[in-house]
Every structure is written in structure tokens, then in C-alpha cells.
Structure 1
């Protein structure tokens, strides 16, 4: 078995770090979008819900871009095999991502009640598509079949469990950010568990999925050559603290609850 050197090990750690960051941070806005029909019953309430994660979702998606960048740059052969084998999962995942973001960006760009309802539907459907697609991809990785779409009852159960975890994570995020009736509805489902405790618990569970799924991949054996890693890994080590600092600034700046519809 090929033993990775320091650069290869750092590349694996960076890949796990970015993937974990995306699932924990991006999972919050995906999950909130999934349960928004329950939380928001009126147009103003739905705007309030979208406003709760609007300042975060672009920054959260940077973590996904960083994950893809590390995979492509540091593990190019493996990336090609995963993309080819899981194309049936990646297509709905990317489609859901585009549909959701289009709904978020387009909602406040004019149009009447019907237009806003269509955009709200795009956010909900896109969020569910993304969550279920991630569930299917993680099912394939967790069951040791990374080069083919997951199938069978076990894969379906894993995909549904992952989607439910996204929704629960979004629920915890909603209790941290919302006010009024949407907050009351979220708090009712969370129960006696404190908002931060609920969000932290689902965050830990989501975060554990990335290294668990990656453990079955031949990362050490499929890393790029040393010359490539010697260029990419130091650059990533410089960029990573900046990304973390930007994320901390965003969460600190928008740490207060949303009490009125805005942004979208």
C-alpha cells in the first residue's frame, strides 16, 4: 500500500476539512430551505426565513467549491473516476443547486405573488434535491461503492436519513435566527433542547459524515505527484485561514435574530 508523504497527508486533511465545513455550514441553509413551507405560512414569513440564511449561503458554498478544487487539483484521477461513476447523482445535485440559487436570487427581482410562490417552490424543491443527492452520494461512499450509484433499500434508507439530518440541522439553525411565528414553529419541533445544543448536535453528526465517507476512498494511493502537491498544498494552507476568518466574520456580523423580512 502506498504511504502518503507529508504533502499527501496534508492534502487529505484539507479535503476532509473543506468537505466537513461545507456539510456543517452549507447544511444549515439547505436544511432551512427544506423545511421552509412548515416554518413560513405567509409571504412575509417566507421572506423572513429566506432572510435568516441569505447572508450565509454564498459563503457556505465557497466551502463546496474549495472541496471540489482540492479533489480536482490534488486527486485528479480519483475525481475523474468519481464523476464518471456518480454522474447520475451529480446531475440532480447540480440541478438542485442551480434551481435553489435561482429561486433565492430571483425572488426579489420583480413579479407578483405567483412569481414569489414559484421562487419559493424552487428553493424548497432545489434544497430537497441537493439533500437527497448528497444522501445518495454518501450512501455509495459509506457502503464502499464509490464508482457506481448506490442502489437497494440500504442506500435509500441512508439517503433519507442524511436528508432528515439536513432538515434537522436547518431546524436548529432556524431556532437561532428566526423570530415570531416561524421561530415558535421551529422551537416546537426542537422541544426542550436548547437551540445551540440542537444545532451543535446535528452539526457534529453531519461533520462526521465527510471523514467517514472519505475513509473508504483510496486517497493516499491516488494523490497527485509530488511536484503538483508542492504547489497546491502550500497555497491552500495560505488560503484556508482567510476562508475561516471570513466565515467567522460573517457569523459574528449576522449573529442577531432576523426580525423583519429583508434581503430577498
Structure 2
């Protein structure tokens, strides 16, 4: 059962990096590619249908982490408390920008919230890189050091590239490039490499420090049946909003 839950957690974490990575990447690119209000509107509209579905993976990652590996809860929440708070604030700021940018029509209003989307995306991307470094060192080293900062920069660049590939797939030619679904899949796999590398190294520790078998059995009954539902919803979103399904609309909630 420990192996099954480790594989489930690995799929969730790498899946989050591969999916949410392009959302964050598009946010990072707003100041670079969004030179006009119309282009920023198009970028946000391109990723908007995928955002909520992708964030479900993060909720599942957190639930699995604290349910299956309870000893890590204190190390993550208390050992990285300032970083966790900064990432939560970045998440709130990014989502607030997505929700409020179209509540008024003024250019200054949208520009302010677009800047918060970019700032929140940067905080989350950079924070994930530093978190991976702290986890790789067993939470014994502060992530604020040259290696942690470099890993934060690496994850940020990977997400930005993934976001650019997504835009080239979702809105072909609108931002100067066209990419296939295969290229998007490849960029997603590359974005997930830092998380996959951490999981490979941490596998013996995680298997050894899993929750008791009785707890895992209860979690299996409660959680695993919902996995096909989450996967099915993700497939529906991608099939519904893939290129060629009509114009890219601006959802009312974004």
C-alpha cells in the first residue's frame, strides 16, 4: 500500500508541475508578451478555462502529503513557514488578479491586476524551486542560499517556457509561434523534471515514513475512488477547450 500511495503522490506532484506550470508561465509572460491590453486579455483568456482544474491538483497534493506522510507536515509548515506563507500569498494575489481584472473596464484597473498576476506567478514559481531544494536537503538547510535561488530561477524559466509553448499551441500565431500538442506535452514533461528528480531521491524516505497501514487503508477507501473523477474532469476540459473548438472567449469570471 505504501508503494501505491507513493506512486499516487508522485503522479499528483509531477502532474501539478506539468499542468499548473503553463498557467504560471503565462502569468510570468504577461509583462513580456502582453504589450497591449488586447494581447493581455488574449493571454488570460487562453489559460482561463484550465486554471481551476489545474489548481485541484495542488489541493490533492497537499491532502495526500499531510495524510500519507504526516511527519512531513511539521517540517514543511514550520521549517519553511515564511516561504509557505509567501507562496500562499502569491497564490491569493495571482487568483485575485484573474478574478478582478475585468470587474471594471479602465486601463489602469486592468493594468494593476495584470501586474499582480505576474507578481503572484513569479512568487509561486520561484517559491516552488526553493521548496524543492529545501525538501532535497531534508529541510535541514535554509532555501535562501545560492543553490536554492538558482533552483528557483530554473523552475521559473521552465514554467515561462512551458507557458510560451502553451500560448503557441492554444492561440497559434498570435504571439509569433505555432506549436503542436506534442510540443506542449514535451514542455510539460520538462517542467515536471525538478519535481520528478526530487521524488526519485526521496522515495526511500517517503516509503519508510508513510502513515500506518490502517490509516492508508482508510485513505484508500475515502480518496482513491475520486481519482477517476478528477482525471475525467481534466480530460473534459482539454477536449472542450483545445484549439480548433472555436474562438477563445473571455470568461465572465476572468
1:196 is aligned to 2:181: yes
Normalised to the residue count of structure 1, the TM-score between the two structures is 0.88
Equivalents in 1 of 2:153, 2:6: separation in Å?
A: 28
Q: Which runs of 5+ in 2 are unaligned?
A: none
Instruction: Give the corresponding residue for 1:183.
Output: 175
Out of 185, 189, 205, which is 2:190 matched to?
205
Q: 1:167 aligns with which of 125, 147, 160?
A: 160
Q: Secondary structure at the match of 1:220?
A: helix
Larger mean Cα displacement after TM superposition, 170-179 or 18-27:
170-179
Offset of 1:147 from its aligned partner?
4.4
User: Can you list the C-alpha shifts for 1:68-87, whole angstroms capped at 9, x where unaligned?
Assistant: 00011111121222221111
Q: d(CA) in 2 for partners of 1:197 and 1:60?
A: 19
Residue 4 of structure 1: aligned partner? none
Q: Give the match for residue 3 of structure 1.
A: none
Structure-to-structure mapping, 1:144-159, within 5 angstroms: 144-159=137-152
> Distance in 1 between the 2:164 and 2:77 partners?
31
Q: Distance in 1 between matches of 2:141 and 2:94?
A: 26
Query: Once superposed, which parts of structure 1, at least 4 consecutive aligned residues long, lie more than 3 Å away?
Result: 194-198, 257-261
1:244 aligns with 2:231: yes
Greater shift after overlay, 200-209 or 131-140?
200-209
Q: CA deviation at 1:261?
A: 5.5
Count of residue correspondences? 249
Counterpart-to-counterpart distance in 2, 1:196 and 1:248 = 14
1:76-110 alpha-carbon deviations (Å, 9 max, x no partner): 12122222111122111111110000000001112
**Residue number in structure 2 paired with 1:77:** 71
CA contact (8 A) 2:24 2:159 kept: yes
Larger CA deviation: 230-239 vs 13-22? 230-239
CA contact (8 A) 2:46 2:248 kept: no
TM-score normalised to the size of structure 2? 0.91
Task: Say whether the 8 Å CA contact 2:24–2:121 is kept in structure 1.
Answer: yes
